[in-house]
Amino acid sequence: MPDKNFKPYTFDMPPVVFGTSGLGNLFVALPDEIKQEIVKECITHTNGKLIFDSAGKYGAGLALESLGKCLKALNVDPEDVIISNKLGWVRTELKTPEPTFEPGVWRDLKYDAEQHISYDGIIECFEQGNELLNGYIPQMVSVHDPDEYLAKAQSADEDEKLYNDILEAYRALETLRRDGKVKAIGVGAKDWRSIARVYNDVDLDWVMIANSMTIKSHPRSLLDFMKKLEDDGVQIINSAVFHSGYLIGGDYFDYKLIAADEPQNKTLVKWREDFFKLCAKFNIKPAEACVQFALMAPGVKSIALSTTNPKRVKDNIAMGGVSVPKAFWDEMISQELIDKKYFEFNTNTLS
């Protein structure tokens, strides 16, 4: 059970932290020189602490390995960078034509990965991740996507067993924190309800909410939970705020292809059309509106953004400081593109 006297560790977080899935060859195999240029751009254009979010699952450890190599090549002092490593997947030998996890997503991998959610498994993930990072030690650690792990359950008994595995994984993280090997432990998931479940049992320093608190979707129940986290001093990183890129012009919404001519997609397509028109009217980029809305949610300190194009890094960072006029939000409300209750709940967002 959580300790009522526990005080979360807090970082001085910038508005934007950098995702590293692209360094692990997500959808495209990037040359090493492009990866290094991406990391260099992150360093060049960041004011204050540099924060990277990575995971052993990204490219079966390739993202961690690439990040470590790039930081070393660029002579980055380990004291000048904060790394978040989401634990739960261990690099293994590749015995099949393509990796067995998330087939068709990762490109040109030389290794496979297996999920190890347990006390010993998390320690193994942490130690392997440190080796791959080439001398850079993560200060922030978490269990990777506990919601997906729990989704495997076929019964209440199995759900309880899987959840106990997660609690054992957090017992390992608490040991690492107690021993001073990491500064902060957290949780990240697409289904925020799994975050709330873990929070009931674990003293967390930070939370990453993915695909949930966005300009398109901002349920009151989630806002209530985020407000509780804020009141408890837990820092929140908001991620996947573009719904797989659909809100900024992509073809996928929450990883599902959206065909504009299919009846079930009519409402979503219309929402985006109206959103784009309003952004054009106010000369605001859709991505800027998405980021600024996501930053206004209770407790949010940073937005996690990633790219495979070095030229986009500067723009991604700049989006964290863009000013969006109140008139834009007023029209978003009047056109029922966002819920006015969001701003009633957040009394300071439009002041």
Q: Report pLDDT for 350.
A: 46
Q: Which residues contact 103 (CB under 8 A, 6 or more apart)?
A: none
pLDDT for position 228:
95
pTM of the model: 0.91
CB 204 within 8 A of CB 186: yes
State how beta strands 252-253 and 256-257 pair.
antiparallel
**Radius of gyration over every alpha carbon of the chain, rounded to an integer in angstroms:** 20
What pLDDT is attached to residue 1? 58
**What pLDDT, on a 0 to 100 scale, did the predictor assign at position 346?**
65
Measured between alpha carbons, how far is 328 from 284 in angstroms, rounded to an integer? 9
> Which parts of the chain have pLDDT scores under 70?
1-3, 345-351
